[in-house]
Structure 1
Amino acid sequence: MKKIVKFLVERTTHAEVEIHLDVPEEFLDEDGEVCDEDGLRDWAEENHNWPDQDLTFEEQQSTEVLEVLNVY
């Protein structure tokens, strides 16, 4: 018997973002080159929103069903 099933899913994507940022000096060496990529990544994750228009590339990696919401 065919039914309509409504699911809650979670999608994971990977995307490239290219934007102009004022990089804090704590992540730069004396020549202005990034010397702490891990710290810069953590700072960017905590301090910026990534709007869709800044995506230069996006690829869906996976979809996982979290919950069955309704069946009718």
Structure 2
Amino acid sequence: MKKTVKFEVERTTHAEVEIELDVPDDFLDEDGEVCDEDGLRDWAEENHDWASQDLVFESIQSTEVLDVMNTY
């Protein structure tokens, strides 16, 4: 018997973003090249100004059903 099922899912994705950012000088050497990629990654993680930008590439890594909310 066919039923309509409403359920909640969680998706984990992998994406690439390519945008122009004002990189703080703390992460650059005297030639303007990035010298602290780990620090820059942490900074980008904390400063989500880029999050509303279009993604260059996105791929779903996993999908998990969390909860069945309604069935009729």
Q: TM-score, normalised by structure 1?
A: 0.85
Distance 1:56 1:3 in 2: 37
1:52 Cα deviation from its structure 2 partner:
4.6
**RMSD between superposed Cα atoms in Å:** 1.4
Aligned residues: 71
Q: Does 1:46 align with 2:52?
A: no
Percent of aligned positions that are identical: 77
Which aligned segments of 4 or more residues in structure 1 are displaced greater than 2 angstroms?
Answer: none
Alignment deviations for residues 8-34 of structure 1 (CA, whole Å, 9 cap, x no partner) = 001111111110011001111222111
Q: Does 1:18 align with 2:24?
A: no
Alignment of 1:1-72 (within 5 A): 1-49=1-49, 50-53=51-54, 55-72=55-72
Greater strand share, 1 or 2? 1
Structure 2 unaligned runs (5+)? none
Equivalent position amino acid for 2:32 in 1: G
Q: TM-score, normalised by structure 2?
A: 0.85
Structure 1 unaligned runs (5+)? none
